[in-house]
């Protein structure tokens, strides 16, 4: 790993924040690094509220979307709520359909089949709407590139409202309204909402027309917080407020479906990290292994006993998903090894038998192993479908755009995307993708970067510091848990490898005559020789709490060790 120390804030600024907030130098500096440089900004950061949410009508086309839905409700039109099969899509559909059902009965949902229809709006979905007399489709977490599909629906007398957050192409679909903060002509003050966040802005605008506010929609925020965590959007600005308020709902009064998932995992209080690693994979597993409808059914169920039954199925889907992605990852790693492709700038692998529902996870795992832009392909009908993942700092969406001559369809974000192409174009695409990445990537991005907030001594760590740092949560992109570096520490003699195959490391460190701290380093078993060396070493870590036999103590979660 490359250790990069963040710039130190000006001493005068640190002194100002220290005095204004009555905190120590470390906290003052951490806040300044996050762009928080006034008392008011700190108050907003530590106490997110509904006041931090922007006016939904600042979003381009919001008035058109609201007027069309209000007209549909007044005329008793059939409305179809359409969304993608991942967490962001299914939570969006659950949110929008639940809200609209409080205002009308003739609301239905549609999630495309991952294998039969693929990502986004499908002709099959539009035909379903036409055959069942739906005159309005509200599409969430997809649709920004569905120009031909929206035109097809229009010919059949079906209107579209699109709520998306993916990057648009050169043209915008000819829908009644296209809500997407990433539109070039949209002046909405926050560009990084997830699909469910855009959906929440729409129901807030609808509620505003009835004299209500976002606070009256608090029951939907467990869905929004889950989508924010799962879609790895920056947890800053409006997302921070939505995630903070949504976590309160998850931990105090979640919807029955969410409660049923939490009951299965038996954890008292969930953080955004728990949402990412506990709730999200289970919701995602439905669309990966069976059908996204199962997730929507669970998330919209109002009877807890029924929700608990659905949660059992969802858990089984997740178990199946884990086994499948582990097997495919092993096969992909073997393919890379056999083809001797270790010196490439990209990883591109393909097997027609691989399960389409887990290739995104496999791509993430391969990226962790080789740390380079990665594509995992499988067969999908008469085409090949792939999930793309990137390394920090490299825009894989732009790289795919440069290879568009070989691609049938693609979409996504800077770090994650999906695409389809014809089998005969696979080798040419693979060659072009390698060439594009090789020519455009900064070679240093192929080594993982560990950003360190600041250098501190072990003597500066105490329970008060940890208590305030914990209030920096929810953590995520744009507001990661602070990472510290301490130099010249020694293991006190108890360091050892632990866990399956000795993958992890556990040690107790001291620095001169400071207090000792127990450390755990996941995946750092290969560093055992450094700590057994009589010389001192440097550690990069976050501060954590260890709960054991009713006792609570501070511990260091080590991210890397260097001689």
18: its two tokens: 């220290």
Residue 20 maps to a domain: no
* Residues 414 and 547 placed together within one structural domain of the fold: no
Which of 510-513's residues contact partners 24+ apart within 8 Å by CB, and which partners? 510/458, 511/457, 511/458, 511/459, 511/486, 512/488
In a 10 Å sphere around its CB, with 0-12 CB exposed, 13-18 middle and 19+ buried, how is residue 3 labelled?
Answer: middle
Percentage, residues of the chain above pLDDT 70: 99
Residue 16 maps to a domain: no
Q: Provide the CATH number for the domain around residue 156.
A: 3.90.1640.30
Nearest of 334, 399, 345, 398 to residue 367 by alpha carbon: 345
* Residues 98 and 222 placed together within one structural domain of the fold: yes
- Containing domain of residue 391, as a range? 339-446
The model's confidence at residue 78, banded by pLDDT at 50, 70 and 90, is very high
pLDDT tens digit sequence for 240-294: 999 999 999 999 999 999 999 988 777 778 999 999 988 999 998 888 888 888 9
In total, how many domains does the chain have?
3
* Residues 246 and 171 placed together within one structural domain of the fold: yes
Beta-bridge partners for 504:
498
According to DSSP, the β-strands at 449-452 and 409-412 are unpaired
**Boundary of a domain, candidates 283, 315, 347:** 315
Residue 45 maps to a domain: no
Residue 8 maps to a domain: no
pLDDT tens digit sequence for 350-397: 999 999 989 999 999 999 999 999 999 999 989 999 999 999 999 999
Position 507 pLDDT exceeds 70 = yes
Residue 24 maps to a domain: no
Position 342 pLDDT exceeds 70 = no
* Residues 128 and 214 placed together within one structural domain of the fold: yes
* Residues 222 and 268 placed together within one structural domain of the fold: yes
Q: How many residues make up the chain in this entry?
A: 563
Beta-bridge partners for 521:
505
Model pTM score? 0.91
Backbone angles phi, psi at 550, to 5 degrees: 85, -5
* Residues 233 and 380 placed together within one structural domain of the fold: no
pLDDT tens digit sequence for 104-141: 999 999 999 887 887 889 999 999 999 999 999 999 99
pLDDT tens digit sequence for 394-452: 999 999 999 999 999 888 888 889 999 999 999 999 999 999 999 999 999 999 999 99
Nearest of 415, 396, 274, 302 to residue 345 by alpha carbon: 396
Cβ(18)–Cβ(28) below 8 Å: yes
Region class of 307: left (phi > 0), else alpha (psi between -120 and 50), else beta: alpha
* Residues 109 and 245 placed together within one structural domain of the fold: yes
| DSSP calls for 466-485 | HHHHHTTPSPBTTBPPP-EE
* Residues 128 and 196 placed together within one structural domain of the fold: yes
Query: Hey, which of 189-198, 332-341, 489-498 has the most confident mean pLDDT?
Result: 189-198
Position 160 pLDDT exceeds 80 = yes
**Boundary of a domain, candidates 446, 477, 494:** 446
* Residues 243 and 262 placed together within one structural domain of the fold: yes
* Residues 481 and 537 placed together within one structural domain of the fold: yes
Taking the alpha carbons at both ends of the chain, their separation in whole angstroms is 13
* Residues 89 and 159 placed together within one structural domain of the fold: yes
- Cα–Cα distances in Å, from 484 out to 6, 35, 392, 434, 445? 10, 18, 20, 36, 21
Residue 377 maps to a domain: yes
Q: Provide the CATH number for the domain around residue 491.
A: 2.40.50.460
ω into 3 cis (within 30 of 0): no
**Boundary of a domain, candidates 446, 465, 497:** 446
Q: How far is CA 93 from the centre of its chain?
A: 17
Position 514 pLDDT exceeds 80 = no
ω into 62 cis (within 30 of 0): no
Residue 7 maps to a domain: no
pLDDT tens digit sequence for 170-200: 999 999 999 999 999 999 999 999 999 999 9
* Residues 68 and 173 placed together within one structural domain of the fold: yes
Instruction: For the chain, give the mean pLDDT.
Output: 94
> Which has more confidence, 208 or 357?
208
Question: What is the average pLDDT across 42-51?
Answer: 96
Nearest of 236, 205, 237 to residue 52 by alpha carbon: 237
- Cα–Cα distances in Å, from 171 out to 61, 147, 166, 167, 523? 16, 8, 13, 11, 46
Residue 5 maps to a domain: no
349: its two tokens: 């692998």
């Amino acid at each position: 790993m490359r250790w990069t120390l963040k710039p130190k804030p000006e001493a005068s600024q640190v002194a100002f924040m220290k005095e204004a907030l009555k905190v120590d130098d470390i906290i003052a500096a951490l806040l300044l690094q996050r762009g928080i440089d006034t008392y008011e900004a700190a108050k907003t950061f530590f106490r997110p509220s509904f006041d931090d949410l922007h006016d939904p009508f600042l979003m381009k086309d919001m008035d058109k979307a609201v007027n069309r839905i209000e007209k549909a409700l007044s005329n008793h039109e059939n409305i179809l709520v359409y969304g993608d099969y991942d967490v962001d899509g299914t939570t969006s559909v659950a949110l929008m359909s639940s809200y609209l059902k409080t205002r009308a009965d003739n609301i239905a949902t549609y999630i495309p089949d991952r294998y039969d229809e693929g990502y986004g709006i499908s002709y099959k979905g539009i035909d379903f709407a036409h055959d069942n007399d739906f005159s309005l489709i509200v599409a969430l977490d997809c649709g920004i590139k569905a120009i031909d599909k929206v035109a097809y629906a229009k010919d059949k007398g079906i209107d579209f409202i699109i709520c998306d957050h993916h990057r648009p192409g050169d043209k915008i679909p000819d829908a009644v309204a296209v809500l997407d903060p990433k539109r070039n002509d949209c002046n909405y003050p926050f560009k990084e909402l997830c699909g469910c966040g855009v959906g929440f802005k729409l129901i807030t605008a609808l509620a505003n027309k009835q004299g209500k506010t976002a606070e009256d929609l608090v029951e939907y925020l467990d869905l929004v917080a889950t989508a924010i965590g799962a879609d790895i959007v920056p947890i800053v600005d409006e997302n921070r407020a939505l995630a903070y308020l949504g976590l309160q709902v998850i931990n105090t009064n979640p919807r029955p479906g969410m409660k049923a998932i939490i009951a299965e995992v038996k954890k008292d209080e969930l953080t955004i990290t728990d949402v990412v690693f506990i709730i999200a994979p289970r919701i995602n597993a439905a669309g990966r292994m069976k059908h996204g409808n199962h997730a929507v059914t669970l998330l919209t169920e109002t009877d807890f006993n029924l929700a608990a039954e659905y949660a059992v199925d969802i858990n089984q889907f997740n178990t199946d998903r884990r086994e499948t992605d582990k097997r495919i990852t092993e096969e992909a790693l073997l393919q890379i090894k056999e083809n001797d492709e270790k010196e490439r700038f990209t990883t591109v692998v393909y097997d027609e038998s691989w399960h389409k529902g887990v290739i995104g996870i496999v791509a993430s795992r391969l990226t962790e192993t080789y740390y380079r832009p990665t594509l995992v392909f499988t067969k999908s009908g008469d085409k090949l479908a792939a999930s793309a993942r990137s390394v920090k700092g490299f825009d894989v969406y732009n790289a795919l755009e440069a290879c568009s001559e070989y691609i049938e369809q693609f979409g996504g974000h800077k770090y994650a995307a999906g695409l389809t192409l014809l089998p005969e174009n696979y080798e040419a695409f693979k060659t072009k993708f390698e060439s594009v990445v090789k020519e455009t990537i900064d070679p240093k991005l192929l080594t993982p970067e560990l950003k360190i907030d600041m250098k501190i001594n072990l003597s500066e760590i105490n329970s008060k510091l940890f208590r305030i740092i914990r209030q920096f949560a929810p953590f995520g992109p744009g507001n990661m848990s602070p990472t510290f570096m301490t130099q010249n520490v020694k293991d006190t003699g108890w360091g050892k490898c632990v866990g399956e195959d000795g993958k992890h490391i556990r040690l107790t460190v001291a620095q001169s005559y400071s207090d000792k701290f127990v450390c755990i380093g996941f995946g750092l078993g290969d560093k055992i020789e450094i700590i057994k060396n009589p010389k001192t070493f440097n550690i990069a870590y976050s501060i954590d709490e260890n709960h054991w036999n009713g006792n609570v103590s501070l511990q260091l979660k080590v991210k890397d060790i260097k001689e």
